[in-house]
């Protein structure tokens, strides 16, 4: 057998490329437990504040390791899964691990951690202080790794948890965030768990920084809005009125952005007001006329009824239309025309944006997928996704498109009417 992610467990074949643990299997009692862990195993294995302190005997551990090493399914999984993977027994002791995990732990041989529990192998500070090792301390009751394994074995299903791991490295405490997935498996009538570990530190750090940013920027904007309101109340200065409008619009944009950043929650509440079709279209045209994408390209308005009034959230709707038109402008060649058509019917108002380019079939299947983009830069692929998110999840409309050779591409947004009337 060969593989990019070679596993570390028993090697009972001849000439195998795997790093052999055969000597460890033949002499399991020589598995090099750390002294502290060995002490727990021999002398304090009845004390616990949370999970069972019981450990598998040396002879039984040897049989479990041999059983795992001879199972083609486990060998295949450890060989092919990219990431950090271990197999633990019912007492949460490691009986196999792949090379990725062994390399992360800095091991010369997997035998160094066979029989240990995950927290002991990873030098968790709480495992060292627990009465019977990993899983038995007071802090272990909140450990995502222990909880995932216990719940998976109890419920016989895949369980995913987040583990906040603190380790002692080079004389200092280092905090890590891991995603832990545990899947129970039965081999030879015995219960084991596949434990997959994923470093989620950067993801959680980014989320924490994002929450901090939104918290702080909202406080600043609230102060700015309050200042604007105060200036408008005390003066008739036109500049103060403009500042107040900008501050309130900024507050709404930040609120929308928060919704987009946690799109699974759809927590944004629409702020509905009356809108005039002609005014909405002209404002959009004015904003986009100064955008670099409009250079040598022209936006034409086709308004069926400029005096038509309807109710919706102006900021969300403007954002949807802005992205629809901007995408069309960016896809167009120099000298091309982009058209924005707005129609009103009995039960809906519809917005249609056209450009002459055709979307290839390979792209059209994923056009509304988050983070998918034909552009190379990080952070792209949000425009069409946000159109779909806000148009359908927030405003309750329908976003779609059709693209045909010889006819170009139309993006459509159909919005059910709350209340509408025609201006004289």
69-122 pLDDT, tens digit each: 888 888 888 888 878 999 999 999 999 999 889 888 888 888 889 999 999 999
Residue 141 sits in the same domain as residue 23: yes
CATH code, domain with 327: 3.30.565.10
For the segment 300-321, the average pLDDT, to the nearest whole number, is: 92
Query: Model confidence over 342-358: pLDDT tens digits?
Result: 999 888 999 999 999 99
- pLDDT band at residue 311 using 50, 70 and 90 as cut-offs: very high
CATH code, domain with 156: 3.30.450.20
Residue 153 sits in the same domain as residue 70: yes
Residue 78 sits in the same domain as residue 103: yes
Residue 354 sits in the same domain as residue 405: yes
Does residue 50 belong to any structural domain of this protein? yes
**Statement: the pTM of the whole predicted model exceeds 0.85:** no
41-45, 99-103, 384-388: the lowest-pLDDT one = 41-45
Residue 20 sits in the same domain as residue 113: yes
Rounded CA separation 151/149 (Å): 6
Residue 284 has pLDDT above 90, yes or no: no
Residue 223 sits in the same domain as residue 286: no
Residues in the chain: 424
Does residue 1 belong to any structural domain of this protein? no
Residue 112 sits in the same domain as residue 128: yes
Residue 305 sits in the same domain as residue 233: no
Residue 265 has pLDDT above 60, yes or no: no
pLDDT of residue 374: 58
What are the CA-CA distances from residue 171 to residues 111, 112, 174 (Å)? 25, 21, 10
For the segment 386-402, the average pLDDT, to the nearest whole number, is: 90
Q: What is the mean pLDDT of the chain?
A: 80
Last residue of a domain, one of 261, 283, 298: 261
Last residue of a domain, one of 153, 168, 199: 199
The total of structural domains in the chain comes to 3
For residue 282, the SS3 value is: helix
Residue 112 sits in the same domain as residue 81: yes
The single residue listed with the structure tokens 């107040």 is 244
Q: Which residues contact residue 156 at a Cβ distance below 8 angstroms, ignoring those fewer than 6 apart? A: 184
Residue 27 has pLDDT above 70, yes or no: no
Tokens of 304: 């069926």
Rounded CA separation 96/110 (Å): 8
- pLDDT band at residue 7 using 50, 70 and 90 as cut-offs: very low
pLDDT of residue 299: 95
Residue 293 sits in the same domain as residue 401: yes
Residue 391 sits in the same domain as residue 364: yes
Q: Structural domain of residue 220, as residue ranges? A: 204-261
Does residue 267 belong to any structural domain of this protein? no
Does residue 192 belong to any structural domain of this protein? yes
Residue 218 has pLDDT above 90, yes or no: no
Rounded CA separation 338/411 (Å): 11
Query: Model confidence over 353-379: pLDDT tens digits?
Result: 999 999 888 787 778 776 556 554 433
Last residue of a domain, one of 149, 165, 199: 199
What are the CA-CA distances from residue 393 to residues 24, 88, 304, 322, 324 (Å)? 58, 43, 27, 18, 17
Residue 199: phi and psi, rounded to 5, are: -70, 115
- pLDDT band at residue 291 using 50, 70 and 90 as cut-offs: confident
pLDDT of residue 237: 79
Residue 32 has pLDDT above 60, yes or no: no
> Does residue 321 or residue 27 have the better pLDDT?
321
The CB density around residue 329, as the number of other CB atoms within 10 Å, is: 21
- pLDDT band at residue 28 using 50, 70 and 90 as cut-offs: very low
Residue 244 sits in the same domain as residue 295: no
Does residue 326 belong to any structural domain of this protein? yes
For 27, half-sphere exposure in the C-beta direction (CA atoms, 13 angstrom radius) is 4
């Amino acid at each position: 057998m060969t593989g990019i992610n070679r596993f570390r467990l028993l090697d009972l074949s001849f000439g195998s490329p795997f790093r052999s643990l055969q000597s460890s299997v033949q002499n399991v009692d020589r598995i090099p437990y750390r002294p502290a862990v060995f002490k727990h195993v021999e002398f304090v294995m009845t004390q616990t504040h949370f999970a069972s302190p019981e450990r598998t005997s040396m002879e039984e551990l040897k049989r479990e390791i041999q059983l795992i090493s001879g199972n083609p399914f486990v060998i295949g999984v450890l060989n092919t899964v990219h990431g950090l993977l271990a197999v633990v027994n019912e007492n949460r002791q490691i009986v196999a691990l792949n090379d990725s995990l062994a390399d992360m732990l800095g091991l010369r041989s997997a035998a160094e951690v066979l029989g240990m529990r995950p927290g002991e192998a990873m030098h968790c500070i709480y495992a060292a202080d627990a009465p019977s090792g990993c899983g038995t301390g007071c802090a272990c009751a909140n450990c995502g790794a222990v909880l995932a394994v216990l719940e998976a074995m109890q419920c016989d299903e895949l369980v995913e948890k987040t583990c906040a791991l603190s380790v002692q490295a080079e004389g200092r405490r280092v905090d890590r965030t891991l995603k832990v997935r545990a899947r129970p498996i039965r081999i030879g009538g015995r219960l084991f768990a596949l434990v997959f570990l994923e470093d989620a530190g950067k993801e959680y750090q980014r989320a924490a920084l994002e929450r901090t940013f939104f918290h702080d920027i909202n406080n600043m904007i609230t102060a700015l809005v309050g200042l604007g309101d105060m200036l408008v109340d005390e003066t008739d200065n036109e500049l103060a009125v403009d500042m107040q409008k900008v501050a309130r619009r900024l507050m709404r944009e930040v609120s929308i952005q928060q919704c987009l950043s946690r799109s699974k929650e759809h927590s944004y509440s629409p702020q509905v007001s009356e809108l005039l079709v002609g005014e909405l279209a002209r404002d959009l045209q004015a904003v986009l006329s100064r955008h670099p994408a409009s250079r040598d390209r022209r936006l034409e308005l086709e308004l069926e009824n400029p005096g038509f009034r309807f109710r919706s959230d102006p900021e969300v709707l403007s954002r949807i239309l802005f992205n629809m038109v901007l995408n069309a402008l960016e896809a167009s060649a120099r000298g091309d025309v982009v058209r924005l058509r707005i129609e009103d019917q009995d039960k809906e108002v519809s917005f249609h944006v056209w450009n002459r380019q055709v979307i290839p079939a390979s792209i059209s299947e994923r056009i509304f997928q988050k983070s998918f983009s034909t552009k190379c830069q990080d952070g792209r692929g949000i425009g069409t996704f946000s159109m779909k998110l806000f148009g359908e999840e927030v405003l309750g409309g329908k976003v779609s498109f059709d693209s045909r050779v010889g006819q170009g591409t139309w993006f459509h947004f159909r919005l059910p009417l709350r209340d509408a009337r025609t201006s004289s």
